[in-house]
Amino acid sequence: MDFPRVADALRWGEEILTAEGINGPRIQATLLLGDAMGFNRAQLLANLRDPVPAAAADTYRRSIRRRAAHEPLQYIRGRAPFLDFEVEVGPGVFIPRPETEMVVEEALSLWQPTAQTPWAVDVGTGSGIISIALTRARPAGRICPIDRSPTPLVTARRNATNLGVADRIAFIRGDLLSPLGADQHEPDSGVRQTVGMVISNPPYAPEDGRDVDPEVSDHEPREAWAAGPEGMDAYARLIPQAANLLLPGRPLVLELGYGQADLVTDILAGDGRWQEPRILPDFNEIPRTLTVQRA
């Protein structure tokens, strides 16, 4: 199929996506056609009467069909926005969400790295967005992102390099805080002294995928969203590990899943080594960010 004009290609893409129940079909068709033609959105809309080159039309048709099959837009485009930057994403890497921006903003209100406590630990780094955002905002800081899967770590390293902050980030492969010796006991005192904060957007959905959008369960890495029968396994393991690692007064910052604020608060109380938590809602008034200091 040839597209005599950009407007014709956009109309075709919008109709295909609408028929498959894709939200925001017009803007998504615009983004995909712009990528295919090498235009940003403004450039594309300024050239609605221009023809679409054959190679670009082929790329666009493939992209629309992938999106119509409910493959995430970010995987098709190969990138995703976060705060004031973009990162590379692809299969095997969890896609950044706007809610996590609020978690980072809250963490930055608590974390002021010093020469004695330069490190923050980002547990389950995924594409590296939290570590990159913290490093960009706090040039004196150093970040230790941890992930148990090699694919996210490769992508996160590349994102950090592309954004010019890789020299202040030390990537580690491992399970939660185990690489720092915090799984069963307090780590070496030298390690504890230097860590000023632990932050995590852990997996928090039930492993059976109930209430999980099929675009997530069918395409995004299972280990990034599934956390046991009730979605609480990562919290139950991470909270005591963080208590082992952090010195008194130093914060743990967590992203919360829907309806999990009270459950996570119960885990903190049961551990017995934490002060009273502070919980903030997201833009939908859902409790989303929990901050708590080590007692």
Per domain, the residue ranges of the chain are: 6-69, 79-293
What's the pLDDT score for residue 120?
98
Contacts 24+ apart (CB under 8 A), 187-193: 187/244, 187/245, 191/245, 192/245, 192/246, 192/247, 193/116, 193/117, 193/247
pLDDT (tens digit per residue) in 255-289: 999 999 999 999 999 999 999 999 999 999 999 99
- Distance between CA atoms of residues 151 and 73, nearest Å: 19
pLDDT (tens digit per residue) in 141-160: 999 999 999 999 999 999 99
Mean pLDDT in residue range 236-241? 98
Q: Specify the higher pLDDT residue, 196 or 209.
A: 196
pLDDT (tens digit per residue) in 168-196: 999 999 999 999 999 988 898 889 999 99
- Distance between CA atoms of residues 148 and 284, nearest Å: 31
Residue 208 CB coordination number (10 Å): 12
* CATH architecture, range 79-293: 3-Layer(aba) Sandwich (3.40)
